A = this chain, B = another copy of it.
């Protein structure tokens, strides 16, 4: 028999094994690293790819809309736009109908980058799903969507 655990470490073990917050953070870090790596030749990160995707609309979205889509704080979005704007991938424009609001518009360079990134995503995501054969990827998506 193995030595019984120290009393103070028992709740810690239960928490470590069960905490959905921890498990989600772990998975988020691992996936971000993986897709960061895949997109590196294109000069963007996985987060920037998702953000550019969220802006790829015929009718541009506002900051609040994009922040909600990414389940991200509005002020985080403000920060994340800076490198993209500096690289000329998108522009922040004032909404003429409501001058408090900003419309996020992809530039031609931004759209071109997204076109180049799509096959990279497809390849990497297919590889990921292949590794998760024992997992129902659809159920996983549904569960994550239920959380956020």
| Inter-chain contact A143/B147, CB cutoff 8 Å | no
Contact for A24 among B28, B114, B115, CB less than 8 A: B28
A50 → chain B closest CB, angstroms: 5
* Contact flags A104-141 to B (C-beta < 8 A → 1, else 0): 00000001001100100100010011011011110111
Q: How many copies make up the complex?
A: 2
| Inter-chain contact B29/A27, CB cutoff 8 Å | no
| Inter-chain contact A147/B31, CB cutoff 8 Å | yes
Contact for A27 among B9, B47, B147, CB less than 8 A: B147
Determine if A62 is an interface residue (Cβ-Cβ < 8 Å): no
Residues 1-54 (chain A) with a chain B CB within 8 angstroms: 5-6, 8-9, 11-12, 15-16, 18-35, 46-47, 50, 53-54
State the A residues within 8 Å of B (CB).
Answer: 5-6, 8-9, 11-12, 15-16, 18-35, 46-47, 50, 53-54, 56-58, 69-73, 111, 114-115, 118, 121, 125, 128-129, 131-132, 134-137, 139-148
